[in-house]
């Protein structure tokens, strides 16, 4: 079953990270992706641009209400995602422990959500 791993971390921290720190984290991501690819379970993994590039669109009375910024202002922001095939939630939790969510000084958080599998059309 496929699970999506949503990485939430603090953008401010990421901005103040040193080049070495950033490189170390990137290397950790690469290690996870390599391992998942080797096992044939990696579907996708991608960082996102910062939330100041976000645009939110909400349909209201048939018209699109377009707002600058992310869906919600939160302490930690969605920074990237992984899409991995897992045996079960415990397997997914093991992957989540490996995916870096770190930013300077503090760990972020990984939210695991199973994808809803729809019957083939």
Partner 1 sequence: MSGERARAVAEATFRREHGRIIAALIRLCGSFDRAEEAMQDAFASALASWTEQGIPDNPGAWITAASHRKLIDGARRERTRREKGELLRDDADEPAADDAASFDEAAAGLPDDRLRLIFTCCHPALNREAQVALTLRTLGGLTTDEIARAFLLPEPTLAQRLVRAKRKIQQARIPYEVPPEHSLPERRASVQAVIYLIFNEGYLATSGDSLVRRELCAEAIRLGRLLRELYPQDAETAGLLALMLLHDSRRHARVDAGGALITLEEQDRGVWDRAEIEEGLALVEWALNQHNPGPYQIQAAIAALHAQAATPAETDWPQIAALYAELAKLNPSPVILLNRAVAIGMSEGPERGLMLMDSLGVSGALSEYYLLHAARADLLRRSNRREAAAEAYRRALALATNETERRFLQRRLQELSG
Binding to partner 1 by residue 43, rule CB under 8 A? no
| 2/92 Cα distance (integer angstroms) | 9
Residue 1 or 24: the one with the smaller Cβ distance to partner 1 is 1
* Residue keyed to tokens 């302490």: 75
Kindly indicate which of the ranges 4-12, 21-29, 49-57, 85-93 contains the residues binding partner 1, using the contact rule CB under 8 A: 85-93
* 35 forms part of the interface with partner 1 (CB under 8 A): no
Query: Counting contacts by CB under 8 A, is residue 109 touching partner 1?
Result: no
Q: Could you tell me the two tokens for 19?
A: 């080049």
Interface residue with partner 1 among 15, 27, 65, 93 (CB under 8 A) is 93
Residue 84 · residue 41 · CB < 8 Å: yes
Give the three-state DSSP class for 37. Answer: helix
Q: Are strands 109-114 and 2-9 parallel, antiparallel or unpaired?
A: antiparallel
Under the binding rule (CB under 8 A), the answer on residue 90 touching partner 1 is yes
Q: Are 56 and 19 in contact (CB under 8 A)?
A: no
Q: Under the criterion CB under 8 A, does residue 1 sit at the interface with partner 1?
A: yes
Is 69 a residue that touches partner 1 (CB under 8 A)? no
Q: Give the footprint of partner 1 on this chain (CB under 8 A).
A: 1, 87-91, 93, 112, 114
């Amino acid at each position: 079953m496929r699970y999506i791993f949503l990485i939430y971390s603090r953008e401010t921290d990421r901005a103040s990270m040193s080049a070495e720190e950033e490189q170390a984290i990137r290397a950790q991501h690469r290690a996870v992706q390599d391992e998942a690819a080797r096992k044939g379970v990696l579907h996708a993994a991608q960082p996102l641009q910062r939330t100041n590039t976000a645009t939110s669109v909400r349909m209201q009375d048939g018209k699109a209400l377009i707002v600058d910024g992310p869906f919600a202002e939160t302490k930690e922001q969605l920074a990237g995602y992984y899409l991995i095939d897992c045996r079960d939630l415990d397997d997914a939790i093991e992957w989540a422990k490996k995916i870096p969510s770190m930013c300077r000084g503090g760990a972020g958080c990984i939210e695991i959500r199973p994808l809803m599998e729809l019957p083939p059309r």
